Amino acid sequence: MKTLLTLFVLLFSSSVFADDISDFQIEGMSIGDSLLNYYSEEIISNSEILYFENERQYYVVGIYNNLKTYDAVEIYLRTNDKNYEIKTITGKLIIENKKQCLSMKDKLTAEIAFLFKNQKQHNDTKNPEYDNSGESKQYISQFNIDGWLTHVRVECAIFSKKIKKDRGYEDTLNVVAMDQEISEWIFDGYR
């Protein structure tokens, strides 16, 4: 677990004011950047997370080492894109408990509200679709940019004991910058 200093770094890792989603940074990276500016092609190809059994329009790369702020970063890339343009980026912090997560989420949400001061904040609590018990929860604060599909959000993902045991999940605080392309792809069933 990162120290309290991490929270300070998290809060100020973006530009002073963000005009659009590409102004928002996670680990110094933004939507629209080439992942090659940060990692070699070999590291990228060896870091693919196998979320899907077959090839899809997009895939996810997971970075777990040499990060300054987060415990992990997940990056969505278009399949066969030789420029490795970042389409969505998520910073993940492993959190010890719900109370800690919600407190950090509130602080981060306030900072993001300052960055995107012309965007309305939307809050929601939902059950992840893969846990029918209703015991796992996602606590979300989201800022929509250029419509609701392009957004920045902060979420606490708090999982039930069963999901943690069966899937190996850990409770996390997630900061997500997602572009419209990926949102549409997700709503289309990841095809």
Task: Give strand pairing partners of 48.
Answer: 61
84 φψ region: left (φ > 0), alpha (ψ -120 to 50), beta (else):
left
The Cα-based distances of 169 to 43, 94, 162 in angstroms read 24, 10, 10
pLDDT tens readout for residues 120-136: 899 999 998 888 888 99
pLDDT tens readout for residues 18-66: 557 888 999 999 999 999 999 999 999 999 998 877 778 999 999 999 9
Total of domains in the chain: 1
pLDDT at 188: 83
Tokens representing 17 are: 């004011």
pTM: 0.87
Rounded CA-CA distance 165/159 in Å is 10
pLDDT tens readout for residues 91-121: 999 998 999 999 999 999 999 998 888 888 9
Segments forming the whole domain that contains residue 183: 4-187
